[in-house]
Structure 1
Amino acid sequence: MLKVVSALLLSSLLPVAHAAGSATSAPPSTKPSGAPIRIAMIDGLSGSFTNAGEAVVRNLQLAIDNINARGGIKLPDGRHALVFSTFDNKQGVEDSLTELKHVTDQHIPFVMQGNSSAVALALVEAINKHNQRVPDNRVLFLNYSAVDPSLTNEKCSYWHFRFDANADMRMNALTAVIKDDSHAKRVYLIGQDYSFGRQVAKSARSMLAAKRPDITIVGDELHPIGKIKDFSPYVAKIKASGADTIITGNWGNDLTLLIKAAKDAGLNTKFYTFYANALGAPAAIGDAGIGRVRAVAEWHPNAGGADSDAFYGSFRQRYPDPKDDYVHMRMHVMVNMLAAAIEKAGSTEAAAVAKALEGAQFRNSFYQASMRAADHQLIQPLYVSVMQKRSDGGLRFDNEGSGYGFKTERYFEPALTALPSSCKMPKPS
């Protein structure tokens, strides 16, 4: 099965021609003719984090279009196209549960979400109950960026698969780099006040204590998520603390506005971040980030290699506007691994597809990953990259037309990113 999955994924990640914004048609013999296979995305498409939700839509839609352009999903009764529907949860838990009811009422078997661990935790609980109550309409939850570790530890579920590295995995990589940063002496922790932000701070404290006991934590701040428009009071506190290093898991506008306030205040610190490589952050940082701002991700445009460049080129061909330059390998791999699992299962039934996903592997010339069966956590590489100016040389690509991009500082192969799990997952009968 490894060769089949790899072949499907590699062909779906490489460039295809597009006409009028759509993927090219498959040959007549491979055109999908069966009932469409529906996928739902429940995430924020309005409010403070609209840009994050819209960016995910672009990634998922391109991955789905590429699969359909090659004939869709092959099942025993023929080929089926994937059809993508979005449901706006306004970044709220209650709205997410309402949208999930709409999804199950329409008998959509696959739900994708990621831009909030609080939402993901609520969806897992609701899907567990729904699948037990309505076994003939079960739902599988594919998570592209909700990284609270509990989702694949004490809150793990047979119906949930995470395709992003969890917060502990990301922090483990960042603190490995900080361990060797002799200039890091006084660290300030700042994050969003919800389950994910609290976990980032907890992980940072624990891992720094183990790897760099000489470091002093000079601040530990949580702020309301998506509500702060002016971060200058927070930056003033950071400045007064004498911090030389900031660690943050902030994402979306909460990250962009924090970094902009730091730049405006002339804050001369290093930033170790989860997400500083997208959604307006590079342009907001500007020259102040050169050699100072780091991000951790499973891949980035300057990771290297002809196939990596071709994958990125395919995305930019489809979405040439610089503001749309937000591409993450994990979202494309997630869609393609789902497609391969449906074909392996010969069915869209959630339990059968979940079984096919367990242990599934992917490898090509620039990326490899495996879905750990024990907790449904994708084990994949991680890159810690540092911000550079493209015009200074050494970068093939910048981010969002900003003139700034990221260069690999440390690469962690998949075996080095895996952490133990406490998951005790009941299997469905």
Structure 2
Amino acid sequence: MLTTIKNYLRPGLIGLLAISVLNNASAAPGSATSVATLSPVRIGMIDGLSGAFSNAGEAVQRNLQIAIERVNARGGVRLPDGLHPLQLSSFDNKQGVEESLTALKHLTDQQIPFVVQGNSSAVALALVDAINKHNQRVPEHRVLFLNYSAVDTTLTNEKCSYWHFRFDAHADMRMHALTEVIKTDSRASKIYLIGQDYSFGRQVNKSARAMLAEKRPDISIVGEDLHPIGKIKDFSPYAAKIKASGADAVITGNWGNDLSLLVKAIRDAGMSTKFYTFYGNGLGAPAALGDAGLGRVRAVAEWHPNAGGADSDAFYQQFRQRYPDPRDDYVHLRMQAMVEMLVTAIEKAKTTEAAAVARALEGARYKNAFHDAVMRAEDHQLIQPLYVSVMQKKGENGVRFDNEGSGYGFKTERYFDARLTALPSSCKMLRIK
């Protein structure tokens, strides 16, 4: 059904946790109505903007902001009554589940139709459950959950939901790429697993064990740790355990300060261990490692600044022009692709009503000059290429760009076409007519 735009887009009162950022742009050529005069299409971000992982939340906010600015610069979102600007409202959840549910209540009270979140699979799982219940209870104001980073595999397997779409490769997809690289490393013989003690960290370790057993049964797992998330300030005891184990490689899904502090402790311990990481290419990690990381630290992602090609370079340089401070240099293609795919789906559905937009997102394709991805309808998992890249000095081996002004960047070691990253799903989704 199509109600009037203002009925389901009215801004409402901003909750105590909300920081609202409105992006206005002039109307597109030939439009009779200025984009700024129509109600905004609102996106509510729930993530950590304070506390131990504030740098990760702020990085997300920057990526969403530049994507929204691009949409508004071309006029906004086209709906039957004209062009509407996108508006981002950010809700600080301090990386807590209860705070996230409180933020969701503020968001739904304001009738914001789109929720975005990603930094914490524990939070994402709680939001999926709460949104399922909200949408059943209040069908006239349903919301859609777009997930940019929560990679627990259950979110698009046994916990899959019609109201949830994931735009990042999940943990098993990322681990599949990393272990394909490890499989060909004849010098890898002893591996240590370390991660954050919550659903995601446990999934990473479980996945690593299973895939290494299948691909390299000769490799020994010489140690495994799960540590409290965001609570450890000194990782030197963990570094000592890794050193004592004789490990020649470490696999970790750590992110944010838990990653940068871990790699700093490894460096300070004088170890030359290889690192296979999910997020080792940003948020302080390259600078913390310095020369100790050269040729040793690998990261897996859907894209990286040195992926290659003029269009890829231009995409990255536009971000750096918008955010010139080296501390702000952490670019996520998936988050910006997510915004573009959402806008395309809204325009196809001709409404912001959640079920209609969900139908338009199923099977949707995102394609630009250097990336090609498809939203798999059966489980709402984005299928896209993945890169495993290795840390190098800027200016060497084709590394044109460094990370966060550190002097160190990443070079593609292996590229995996989207067909090679797709894994089977066990999702049995309850679909909405």
Coarse TM-score class (shorter-chain normalised): over 0.9
- Asked whether 1:351 is paired with 2:355, we answer yes
Query: Which residues in structure 2 correspond to 1:88-167 (within 5 Å)?
Result: 88-167=92-171
1:370-385 alignment to 2 at 5 Å? Answer: 370-385=374-389
Contact between 1:186 and 1:245, CA under 8 Å: does it hold in 2? Answer: yes
- Once the 2 structures are TM-superposed, how far is the Cα of residue 69 of structure 1 from its aligned partner? 0.6
- Partners of 1:26 and 1:300 in 2: CA distance: 33
Question: What CA distance in whole angstroms lies between the structure 2 residues aligned with 1:378 and 1:28?
Answer: 33
**Would the alpha carbon gap of residues 23 and 278 (structure 1) be closer, same or farther in structure 2, given more than 3 Å must change?**
farther
With normalisation by structure 1, the TM-score equals 0.94
Match of 2:17 in 1: none
| Equivalent of residue 228 in structure 2, options 224, 234, 251 | 224
1:392 deviation in Å?
Answer: 3.2
The answer to whether residue 296 in structure 2 is matched with residue 292 in structure 1 is: yes
Choose from 75, 78, 98 the match for 1:74: 78
Q: Tell me the CA shift for residue 393 of structure 1.
A: 4.5
Are the structure 2 counterparts of residues 271 and 129 from structure 1 closer, same or farther at C-alpha, using a change threshold of 3 Å?
same
Distance 2:98 2:291 in 1: 41
Distance (whole Å) between structure 1 residues aligned to residue 268 and residue 223 of structure 2: 20
Q: Deviations over 1:223-262 (max 9, x none)?
A: 0000000000000000000000000000000000000000
Gaps of 5+ in 2: 1-21
Q: 2:261 aligns with which of 248, 257, 265?
A: 257
TM superposition shift of 1:363: 1.8
- What is the SS of the residue equivalent to 1:422? coil
Separation (CA, whole Å) in 1 of partners of 2:239 and 2:145: 38
Aligned equivalents of 1:242, 1:137: Cα separation in 2: 56
Report what 2:66 is aligned to.
Answer: 62
SS of corresponding position for 2:162: coil
How far apart in 1 are the matches of 2:316 and 2:128?
Answer: 32
The answer to whether the 8 A contact 1:379-1:417 is kept is: yes
Structure 1: where are the runs of 5+ without partners? 1-20
2:365 is the counterpart of 1:361 = yes
Conserved? CA contact 2:156–2:379, under 8 Å: yes
Question: What is the alpha-carbon distance in structure 1 between the residues aligned to residue 285 and residue 23 of structure 2?
Answer: 29
Does 1:172 find its partner at 2:176? yes
Structure-1 separation of matches of 2:290 and 2:257: 16
| Pair 1:416-2:420 in alignment | yes
Q: In the alignment, which of 205, 208, 214 is matched to residue 209 of structure 2?
A: 205
Q: Report the equivalent of 1:237.
A: 241
- Is this contact kept in 1: 2:193–2:221, CA < 8 A? yes
How large is the Cα RMSD of the aligned pairs? Answer: 1.2
1:20-44 C-alpha deviation (Å, 9 max, x unpaired):
x988745453441421111000000
**Which whole-Å deviations, capped at 9, do the CAs of 1:112-157 have from their partners, x for residues lacking one?**
0000000000000000000000000100000000000000000000
2:283 pairs with 1:279: yes
Q: 5 Å matches for 1:282-321?
A: 282-321=286-325
Over the matched positions of the two proteins, sequence identity in percent amounts to 76
CA distance in 2: counterparts of 1:146 and 1:366, whole angstroms: 24
Is 1:387 the counterpart of 2:402 in the alignment? no
The one-letter amino acid of 2:244's match is A
Supply the distance in 2 between the matched residues of 1:317 and 1:29 (Cα, whole angstroms).
30
The answer (yes or no) to whether the contact 1:74–1:343 under 8 Å persists in 2 is yes
Q: Is the 8 A contact 1:302 1:407 kept in 2?
A: yes
- CA deviations over 1:305-336 (Å, ceiling 9, x no partner): 11101100110010000000010100000000
CA distance in 2, matches of 1:346, 1:392: 49
* Counterpart mapping for 1:326-337 below 5 A: 326-337=330-341
Q: Which residue of 2 aligns with 1:15?
A: none
Count residues in correspondence: 409
TM-score, structure 2 normalization: 0.93
The 8 Å contact of residues 23 and 66 in structure 1, kept in 2 or not, is answered as no
Partners of 2:23 and 2:87 within 8 A in 1: no
Residue 29 of structure 1 corresponds to 30
CA offsets 1:34-68 (integer angstroms, 9 cap, x no match): 21111000000010000000010000011001100
Cα shift at 1:199:
0.1
